[in-house]
């Protein structure tokens, strides 16, 4: 699967960091709880993809399916799926077992692209087992 990146043309350039993730997914919540961003990178804003927000509306307008992966904004650019995971890993610290493991697994874009479909299958299976609905942002604007 090829990762997608999308550029935003309508906002001035800034070092904005936003992560849009599934707030009802235990895997996703655990990941964002444990992931640590280096201080010099800036503050990461966490946004629940299941809640209405400017970021969700923007991603929907760009055609980014949030059921297929989380989205990371760095400055003016959006990254989705495996590319978002890879970039977030590079922004992270190497402190703690979790962050070191994430770096070893996802510092390589090729390795991240190979692992990401398996992570997505696990997430979707877990959500089905828990009786959670899809985010469905592309059909329910």
Contact partners, residue 1, CB within 8 Å, separation at least 6: 81, 82, 113, 116, 117
In this predicted model, what pLDDT tens digit does every residue of 25-39 receive, in sequence order?
999 999 988 888 888
Positions of E strands within 3-121: 4-7, 17-21, 45-48, 71-74, 77-80
In this predicted model, what pLDDT tens digit does every residue of 123-133 receive, in sequence order?
999 999 999 99
- Residue pair 90/35 in contact (Cβ under 8 Å)? The answer is no
Residue with tokens 């390589």: 108
Mean pLDDT, all residues of the chain: 88
Distances (CA, A) of 96 to 2, 38, 67, 102, 121: 30, 13, 29, 10, 27
In this predicted model, what pLDDT tens digit does every residue of 82-108 receive, in sequence order?
999 999 999 998 888 998 999 999 999
Q: What is the dihedral of CA 61, 66, 70, 75, to 10 degrees?
A: 0
């Amino acid at each position: 699967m090829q990762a997608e990146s999308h550029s935003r043309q309508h906002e001035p350039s800034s070092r904005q960091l936003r992560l849009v993730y599934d707030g009802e997914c235990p895997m996703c919540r655990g990941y964002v709880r444990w992931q640590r961003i280096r201080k010099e990178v800036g503050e990461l804003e966490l946004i629940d993809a299941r809640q209405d927000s400017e970021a969700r509306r923007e991603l929907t307008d760009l055609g980014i399916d949030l059921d297929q992966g989380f989205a990371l904004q760095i400055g003016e650019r959006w990254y989705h799926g495996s590319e978002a995971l890879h970039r977030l890993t590079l922004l992270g610290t190497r402190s703690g077992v979790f962050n070191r493991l994430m770096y070893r697994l996802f510092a390589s874009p090729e390795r991240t692209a190979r692992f990401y479909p398996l992570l997505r299958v696990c997430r979707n299976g877990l959500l089905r087992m828990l009786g959670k609905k899809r985010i469905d942002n592309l059909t329910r604007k």
